[in-house]
Amino acid sequence: MRIVGGKHRGRHLIAPQGRELRPTSDRVRESVFNILTQGGEILGRRDWVRDANVLDGFAGTGALGLEAVSRGASHATLFDNQETALRCSRENLAALGDDNVDIIFADCLHPRKTDKPCSLIFLDPPYGLGLTASALAALDEAHWIALDALVVIELDRAEAFEPIPGYSIIDERHYGKAKILFVQTKSVEN
């Protein structure tokens, strides 16, 4: 596993052995970030990463948040509630040497309130547990999601997801067993 673009391109990231964490593959991450940085008609033809305040919920190894910082995000906050995941995220951050990343022991289902909402949010919960809608609602309630934010969700391809009120799916991509959803508030849909 490695950073696939930006100033840290090619830098290796550690991931624990076994099934405790399921990091987003390099191929999927590269595809997602190509979509985010090159925009396209469906995403409003803008670079969603550059200068973004990013939240990587269910961060695991931190690969999504660290990739965003490598590609020009101004700041990333990584949430996880598993110590193994936080240890991986901390080691990966230390290897990169960036100081604009916060790693927080936090549960996306019960986040503390913030006064610094994020414009780009990644949610990659454990497959099959149905946590995504609850996490999205909790993060919205705690003001982690800016009004014009884009939320990128990774699910098992077979897993259903119904957006919470006020949000809608604007694009969907499939990569092997993974399904990537791009979700935005209805008030800012294109």
CB 56 within 8 A of CB 33: no
Q: Give the tens place of pLDDT for each residue, 9-35.
A: 889 998 876 555 567 778 888 999 999
Residue 77: its pLDDT value, please?
Answer: 97
Both tokens of residue 22? 């399921």
Residue 33 lies in a domain: yes
Residue 7 lies in a domain: no
Residue 149 lies in a domain: yes
Residue 21: its pLDDT value, please?
Answer: 59
Q: Give the tens place of pLDDT for each residue, 58-99.
A: 998 999 999 999 999 999 999 999 888 899 999 999 988 888
Residue with tokens 């969603």: 48
Average pLDDT, the chain: 89
Residue 34 lies in a domain: yes
Q: Give the tens place of pLDDT for each residue, 122-180.
A: 999 988 898 999 999 999 999 999 998 999 999 999 999 999 999 999 999 999 999 99
Which three-class secondary structure state does DSSP give residue 35? helix
Residue 39: its pLDDT value, please?
Answer: 73
Residue 37: is its pLDDT beyond 70? yes
As a dihedral over the C-alpha atoms of residue 23, residue 25, residue 26, residue 30, rounded to 10 degrees, the angle is: -100
Q: Give the tens place of pLDDT for each residue, 102-115.
A: 999 999 999 999 99
Sheet containing 75-80: give its strands across: 101-105, 75-80, 53-57, 118-123, 145-156, 178-185, 167-175
Residue 10 lies in a domain: no
Residue 43: its pLDDT value, please?
Answer: 73
Residue 190: its pLDDT value, please?
Answer: 45
Both tokens of residue 149? 């934010």
Residue 11 lies in a domain: no
Residue 84: its pLDDT value, please?
Answer: 87
- Give the CATH number, domain containing residue 142: 3.40.50.150
Report how many domains make up the chain: 1
CB 161 within 8 A of CB 183: no
Residue 9 lies in a domain: no
First-to-final CA distance of the chain: 34
Q: Which residues, 6 or more positions from 47, have their beta carbon under 8 angstroms from its beta carbon?
A: 36, 37, 38, 39, 72
Residue 16 lies in a domain: no
State the residue range of the domain holding 47: 26-188
* Number of continuous H segments (helices) and E segments (strands) in the chain: 4, 7
**H-state helical runs in the chain:** 26-38, 63-70, 83-96, 132-141
